[in-house]
Amino acid sequence: MAKLTYIKAITDGLDVVLGEDPKTLIFGEDVGKNGGVFRTTEGLQDKYGEDRVFDTPLAESGILGLSIGLAATGWRPIPEIQFMGFTFEAVDSIGGQMARNRFRFSGKRAMPITIRTPFGGGTHTAEMHADNLENYFVGTPGLRVVTPSNPYDAKGMIISAVENNDPVLFMENLKLYRSMKDEIPEGKYTVPLDTAKVVKEGTDLTIVAYSAEVNEALKTAEKLEKENISVEVIDLRSLSPIDTDTIFKSVEKTHKVVVVQEAQKMAGVGAQVASEIAEHAIMNLDAPIGRVAAPDSVYPWAQVENDWLPNADDIEEKAREILNY
């Protein structure tokens, strides 16, 4: 066991899959000698060679199109899109191509591609570097969208993602990269790609969140705990599919729910969670479903970023509103 940051936990997971499966390949912009602009792939080219870990020309559609052709010829690609905002350049490769190919080939051919991409606010990046674009991708049949909220899950989930035989969009939170550490077991372990996790048990209110907002939700839960309000916090981990069973079980217990996301509010993950609860578990509710999300503007530039991002105070305000309903 070693204490590792979120980013080093991912590096460790990539090391495991490269070591286990000689058909795995890591490629993208700056991932080779430079080890990635955040150093996520640091040391991997030295260890596994330039054939397995390599830089590409600067073109996102090319990177993901390359992944499809490599998968066709027997490889297991792990491309990196340097920032999630850049996936706009490659939407066809994801939604038009790799996610549909299992169907196109009647289930006979697989696209075992894991697209790693950093996202998330609060680090004052340039424009288009922090956007939460999951809302664009969760409605893509054939594509899994996952995002870990802590280093332990990050390593276990990257290994599961690479081993999965369908395309996985693996979202890595920029703010979490170096802000938290966990005890990480050495070698291989996996964390399932399709189950949410109850990260804190409680009986009065359920907060459903994912990625960095899980930490904000936990802050709120701790604060309310001092007033003897017991809050259950669920980390979705998988944004598509959504593990509704874990959510329904919690709502059955607490009867109140607040759904939190860092992304803008319109038609996304939080809306889907709320609608699943409304459709299947509304009789268990004692109050309306509360939602916390970013305003429906474009992702803000750095100076207003911290005012725009939903934080523990916003979650607390909404939680009290729902608790006092």
Partner 1 sequence: MAKKTGQTIDFASIKAKMSDPYKKPLQVVDETGKIVNQELFDSFSDEELVDFMKKMVWERALHEQTMNFSRQGRLGFYAPTFGEEASEMGSVSAFTDKDWLFPAYRDLPQLIQHGASVTQGFLWSKGNAVGDDYGDTRAWFPQIIIGAQYVEAAGAALGLKKNGEKDAVAFTYTGDGGTSQGDFYEGINFASSFQAPAVFMVQNNGWAISVPRKTQTAAETLAQKGVASGVPGVQVDGMDVLAVYIATKEAREFAAAGNGPALVETLTYRFGAHSSAGDDPSRYRTKEEEKPWFDADPLIRMRKVLTDKGLWSQEQEDKLVEEYKNDFKASMKEAENTPTQSVVDMLKTTFEEPTPQVKADIARFEAKESK
* Binding track over 189-218 against partner 1, x by CB under 8 A: -----x------------------------
280 labelled catalytic: no
141/185 with CB nearer partner 1: 141
CA–CA gap between residue 132 and residue 311 (Å, rounded): 15
Instruction: Identify which of 120, 200, 191 has the alpha carbon closest to the alpha carbon of residue 154.
Output: 191
* Binding track over 19-38 against partner 1, x by CB under 8 A: ------x-------------
Structure token digits, residue 236: 């979705």
Query: Rounded to the nearest whole angstrom, what is the least distance from the CB of residue 26 to partner 1 in the complex?
Result: 13
Structure token digits, residue 259: 């759904």
* Binding track over 282-311 against partner 1, x by CB under 8 A: ------------------------------
> Does residue 82 bind partner 1 (CB under 8 A)?
no
- The helix/strand/coil state of 24 is strand
| CA angle 191–79–21, rounded 5-degree value | 60
> Does residue 66 bind partner 1 (CB under 8 A)?
yes
| Identified binder of partner 1 from the candidate list 37, 70, 198, 229, rule CB under 8 A | 70
Instruction: Identify which of 292, 281, 275 has the alpha carbon closest to the alpha carbon of residue 256.
Output: 281
Structure token digits, residue 198: 């109850």
Restricting to residues 128-157, which ones interact with partner 1 according to CB under 8 A?
141-142, 144
Restricting to residues 255-274, which ones interact with partner 1 according to CB under 8 A?
none
In which residue are the tokens 């909404």 written?
A: 318
CB contact set of 115 (below 8 Å; sequence gap of 6+) = 64, 67, 79, 80, 81, 87, 94, 167, 168, 169, 170
| Identified binder of partner 1 from the candidate list 19, 43, 49, 96, rule CB under 8 A | 96
Query: Rounded to the nearest whole angstrom, what is the least distance from the CB of residue 268 to partner 1 in the complex?
Result: 16
> Does residue 245 bind partner 1 (CB under 8 A)?
yes
| Identified binder of partner 1 from the candidate list 204, 243, 305, 314, rule CB under 8 A | 243
- The helix/strand/coil state of 136 is helix
In the set 124, 129, 255, 280, the catalytic residue is: 129
Amino acid at 64: L
Which of the ranges 7-15, 94-102, 205-213, 286-294 carries the binding residues for partner 1, by CB under 8 A? 94-102
In which residue are the tokens 């490269």 written?
A: 18
End-to-end CA distance of the chain: 46
Exposed e or buried b per residue across 58-89, where buried means at least 16 C-beta atoms within 10 angstroms of its C-beta: eebbebbbbbbebbeeebbbbbbbbbbbbbee
Which residues partner with 144 through β-bridges?
168
Query: Rounded to the nearest whole angstrom, what is the least distance from the CB of residue 27 to partner 1 in the complex?
Result: 9
> Does residue 279 bind partner 1 (CB under 8 A)?
no
The binding site for partner 1 (CB under 8 A) comprises 25, 51, 56-57, 59, 61-62, 64-75, 92-93, 96-97, 102-108, 110, 141-142, 144, 164-166, 194, 240-245
Q: Which residues are catalytic?
A: 129
